[in-house]
Structure 1
Amino acid sequence: MKFSSASLAIATLLFSGCASPPIHFYTLGAPAVPGVAPSLSATTHVMAVTRITLPDYLDTQDIVVRDGDQIDRSPNGRWASRLSQGATDLLAARLAQSWPSVFVTTQPQSGTPDNRLSVNVSRLDITHDGQGTLEADWAIIPRDEHLPIKHQRAVFTTHGNVSTDTGNAALTRNLLEQLASRIAQTTTP
């Protein structure tokens, strides 16, 4: 069977039109913490940040917006990791900046940390109109069982442009940074 060059060109154009747009991956922007890391010694205070818990429908790589009861997934934007992992990394990085003399870590340690930070996000909604809301509670759990567990709860809001996945990522980061700031202000490690 012989094909003319015009037939091949048309077939190529038809097949290239079927290609989907490329997937773009986003992070919450938790680069290595700048500055001097605390020198670790036997007396360095250690704060272990456990993985943040999120509602199941959010703890994916999907970037989503909410429209009432409907959740719309981005067709070509994804988180680089599960949202809970990216949020935990961002929170730990910001707390390390706020508490420079404390060793803040998300990694398992050979010994028991002085405190553990446990965060539960019960709501993290970004709507089509750009309204962002985060509701969270957290607990500081001391190594010493005789000391009380410190509980806190807060709601954060922000507004921005979510017409792109970049805007959605920025709004999500803003809400999580508000949470990190509140934890740093209300907690003595």
Structure 2
Amino acid sequence: MTRSAALLAFVLMSGCAAPPMQFYTLGAPAIAQNSGTLPASAPVLNVSHVTLPDYLDSQDILIRHGDQLDRSPNGRWGSRLSQGVTDLLAAHLGQDWPGYVVTTQPLAETPALRLAVNISRLDLDSSGQGALTADWALIPSDEHQPVQRGRGSFIAQGAVTTDSGKVALTRTLVEQLAARIASTSPRP
């Protein structure tokens, strides 16, 4: 009898299990880069690891309710958010600047250009409003060339009732940043 009761309890508890954990990326690997072959002398653009506020740089998918941050109960980023943002920026710049070899990896030699990005704000609120504020610097290896600096604020609206909606809204904001950097920075 106790065995039957234990089995019944197990079956009842398994029916109450939480949904499985889902992991999300910003989709950077799906973006084709440098479809043609580049000469060995092609300049290199190194995208440094993007910095984010500490409370955002985790695997938690967050939504803001005023001063409160709520974490998704069953959705997580596949890596720290800063890594996903870095990869997505590099992927877009690889498309937008086909004459450059764009990488996020450390290099043995000095790259022709280095991109440093600091995101000071990346918030999604419960109404579906997303906002991103960032500063960036494009730093040439030639010390006699000027550093090109930029700043931008971006907003977008989207559905945030699901984790996939939050991911899509975050991707939209980062893509707006990538487009601005690509349009205001020098090309080879």
Which band: TM-score by shorter chain?
over 0.9
What residue number does 1:36 align with? Answer: 35
1:144 aligned to which of 138, 142, 145:
142
Instruction: Report the Cα offset of residue 137 of structure 1.
Output: 0.6
Instruction: Report the Cα offset of residue 36 of structure 1.
Output: 1.4
- Determine the C-alpha separation between the residues in 2 that align with 1:104 and 1:40: 13
TM-score (norm 2): 0.94
Instruction: Report the Cα offset of residue 4 of structure 1.
Output: 5.9
Which AA in structure 2 matches 1:102? Y
What residue number does 1:101 align with? Answer: 99
Q: Which moved more, 1:139-148 or 1:25-34?
A: 25-34
Does structure 2 retain, via aligned residues, the 8 Å contact 1:140–1:150? yes
Give structure 1 regions of 4+ aligned residues with deviation exceeding 4 angstroms: none
Instruction: Report the Cα offset of residue 110 of structure 1.
Output: 1.4
Q: Say how many residue pairs are matched.
A: 186
- Determine the C-alpha separation between the residues in 1 that align with 2:8 and 2:106: 57
Query: Unmatched 5+ residue regions in structure 2?
Result: none
Aligned-CA RMSD value: 1.5
- Determine the C-alpha separation between the residues in 2 that align with 1:63 and 1:33: 22
1:15 aligned to which of 13, 17, 38:
13
What residue number does 2:182 align with? Answer: 184
Which AA in structure 1 matches 2:136? W
Instruction: Report the Cα offset of residue 107 of structure 1.
Output: 0.6
SS at match of 2:114: strand
- Write the mapping of 1:46-65 to structure 2, written as runs, cut at 5 A: 46-65=44-63
What residue number does 1:3 align with? Answer: 2
1:82 aligned to which of 77, 80, 83:
80
Per the alignment, do residues 88 and 148 of structure 1 end up closer, same or farther by CA in structure 2, a change over 3 Å counting? Answer: same
- Determine the C-alpha separation between the residues in 1 that align with 2:185 and 2:30: 22
Q: Which moved more, 1:15-24 or 1:106-115?
A: 15-24
Per the alignment, do residues 4 and 103 of structure 1 end up closer, same or farther by CA in structure 2, a change over 3 Å counting? Answer: closer
Which AA in structure 2 matches 1:36? S
Which AA in structure 1 matches 2:163? D
- Determine the C-alpha separation between the residues in 2 that align with 1:146 and 1:165: 46
What residue number does 1:133 align with? Answer: 131
Does structure 2 retain, via aligned residues, the 8 Å contact 1:62–1:73? yes
